[in-house]
């Protein structure tokens, strides 16, 4: 007969194995909690994927440690956790946000353990020893790993500040934060005139495994600036190893030398591995901040859009500023889109075709004939598709036309992120 300790170990292993089978969903849940509860972790949405990888690596390590009775004192932090700490250091996210993430993650994991234990038929004499073993392993692991990632963070922060043109980078951060009133001294420190028209942009590598891309990004920033009509050298600041901020000096020029469609062609030919978010032209020191803030919003939309995003996205292009605001609460936006479009929000080709037709139909003042010319269809085909779309939605498009147009625009940008795969209806959404 198995000893008391052996039965305890078997029950601990069974609980850990059960949790590990739900690794993907548990990772998503805890990542969502950390992202929601710790505002500093929301500074850059591109890091959300890396946060998820860090959470998954830590959970997987803890579960395997419990399953196989491994001593937690011998464990090292997962590679994704180390990289996430480095990236937070590069972004200037406070280290206490990183420490809090581990504490909050531990609290949420303990709740899952209690729930799992409650579903087991546990002999009374095993309950306390099982909890003691799990809590001890988790506490030792979290304490050890949090020390490791904090050490990595601090080393990276020191290295990063030394690597950057620190005076310029810190001065830019102060101006953007509104902590400094820009004057001639600020312009001299930056080697960039603040009292002129600016076109701010953010350039980044969307591939999370791209490594250190700063040299390529800085080269692209200079190419981009010259293409858009810079009168002198641009101001470039590295945000992290895969992201750069740039301000194009336009002097008195009130419009860029090239339009955004030309810019997309240029970037596709010269820097296809990068994405650019443009903030539009603004003026003076306040414009320096404003154009950058707009570029950040455009970037948030590009990241949310994923593969739907073009190689260059500009805040002042039609619809971008509006949809960008809606990316701040993706769950609420998805719910709203589906409540407006209902069956028309299905994630399949037929529904996409109907949405495109309705979008053109509404843009052409409900004219089947005008929409048919744009879509290169017979007007009867447009009429049929609009009728089918209204049936899928459950009503026509005249009563709340503005909401429908905005919901369709969101679908155009965000695609599957706001759509629903309705298999029951997916094969029946029709169109010619």
Q: Which residues of 146-180 are buried (b: 16+ CB within 10 A; e: fewer)?
A: beebbebbeebbeebeeebeeebbbbbeebbeeeb
CATH class in words for 198-324: alpha beta
Which residues are CB-neighbours of 418 under 8 A, at least 6 positions away? 330, 333, 334, 337, 338, 345, 410, 411
Q: Edge-to-edge, what's the strand order for the sheet holding 275-283? A: 235-240, 243-251, 197-204, 275-283, 312-314
Lowest model confidence (mean pLDDT) among 36-45, 97-106, 164-173, 367-376: 164-173
Q: Which of 170, 189, 181, 190 is nearest to 285 (CA)?
A: 181
pLDDT at 297 over 90: yes
Name the residue with tokens 């990004």: 217
Q: What pLDDT, in 10s, does the model give residues 377-422? A: 998 998 999 999 999 998 888 888 999 999 999 999 888 888 987 5
Name the residue with tokens 């490594």: 211
pLDDT at 130 over 90: no
Q: What pLDDT, in 10s, does the model give residues 328-356? A: 888 899 999 999 999 999 999 999 999 99
CA distance between the termini of the chain:
72
Q: What pLDDT, in 10s, does the model give residues 168-189? A: 777 888 888 876 566 656 777 7
Looking from the CA of 213 toward its CB, the CA atoms found within 13 Å total 21
CATH architecture of 330-426: Orthogonal Bundle (1.10)
Q: Which of 225, 308, 316 is nearest to 263 (CA)?
A: 225
- Quote the CA–CA distance of 317 and 9 in Å, as a whole number: 61
- Quote the CA–CA distance of 278 and 296 in Å, as a whole number: 8
Residues of each domain in the chain carrying CATH 1.10.490.10: 4-163
Per CATH, the number for 4-163 is 1.10.490.10
Residues of each domain in the chain carrying CATH 1.10.10.2840: 330-426
Torsion of CA 26, 30, 33, 39, to 10 degrees: -150
Contact 135, 33 (CB under 8 A): no
Exposed, middle or buried: residue 331 (CB in 10 Å: 0-12, 13-18, 19+)?
exposed
pLDDT at 426: 42
Q: What pLDDT, in 10s, does the model give residues 156-166? A: 988 876 665 56
Give the pLDDT mean for 122-130: 73
pLDDT at 280 over 60: yes
pTM exceeds 0.85 for this model: no
């Amino acid at each position: 007969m198995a000893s008391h300790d052996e039965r305890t170990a078997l029950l601990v292993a069974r609980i850990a194995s059960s949790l590990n089978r739900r690794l993907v969903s548990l990772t998503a849940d805890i990542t969502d909690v950390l992202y929601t509860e710790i505002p500093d972790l929301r500074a850059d949405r591109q890091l959300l994927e890396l946060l998820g990888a860090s959470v998954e690596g830590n959970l997987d390590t803890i579960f395997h440690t419990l399953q196989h009775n491994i001593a937690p004192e011998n464990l090292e932090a997962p590679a994704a956790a180390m990289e996430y700490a480095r990236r937070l250091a590069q972004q200037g996210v406070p280290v206490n946000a990183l420490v809090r993430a581990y504490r909050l993650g531990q609290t949420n994991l303990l709740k899952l353990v209690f729930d799992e234990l409650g579903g087991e038929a546990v002999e009374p004499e095993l309950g306390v020893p099982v909890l003691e073993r799990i809590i001890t392993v988790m506490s030792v692991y979290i304490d050890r790993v949090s020390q490791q990632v904090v050490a990595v963070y601090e080393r990276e922060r020191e290295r990063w500040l030394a690597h950057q043109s620190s005076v310029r980078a810190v001065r830019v951060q102060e101006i953007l934060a509104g902590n400094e009133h820009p004057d001639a001294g600020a312009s001299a420190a930056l080697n960039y005139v603040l009292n002129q028209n600016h076109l701010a942009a953010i350039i980044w590598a969307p591939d999370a495994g791209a490594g250190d891309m700063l040299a390529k990004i800085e080269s692209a920033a200079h190419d981009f600036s010259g293409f858009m009509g810079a009168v002198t050298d641009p101001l470039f600041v590295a945000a992290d190893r895969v992201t750069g901020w740039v301000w194009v000096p336009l002097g008195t020029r009130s419009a860029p030398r090239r339009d955004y469609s030309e810019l997309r062609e240029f970037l596709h030919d010269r820097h296809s591995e990068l994405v650019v978010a443009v903030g539009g032209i603004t003026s003076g020191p306040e414009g320096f901040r404003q154009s950058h803030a707009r570029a950040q919003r455009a970037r948030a939309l590009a990241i949310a859009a994923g593969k739907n995003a073009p190689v260059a996205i500009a805040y002042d292009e039609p619809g971008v500023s509006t949809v960008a605001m809606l990316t701040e609460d993706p769950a609420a936006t998805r719910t709203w889109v589906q409540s407006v479009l209902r069956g028309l929000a299905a994630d399949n080709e037929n529904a996409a075709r109907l949405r495109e037709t309705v979008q053109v139909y509404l843009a052409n003042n409900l004219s089947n004939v005008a929409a048919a010319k744009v879509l290169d269809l017979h007007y009867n085909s447009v009429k049929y598709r609009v009728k089918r779309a209204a049936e899928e939605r459950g009503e026509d498009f005249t009563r709340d036309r503005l909401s429908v147009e905005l919901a369709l625009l969101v679908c155009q940008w965000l695609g599957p992120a706001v759509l629903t795969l309705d298999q029951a209806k997916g094969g029946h959404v029709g169109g010619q």
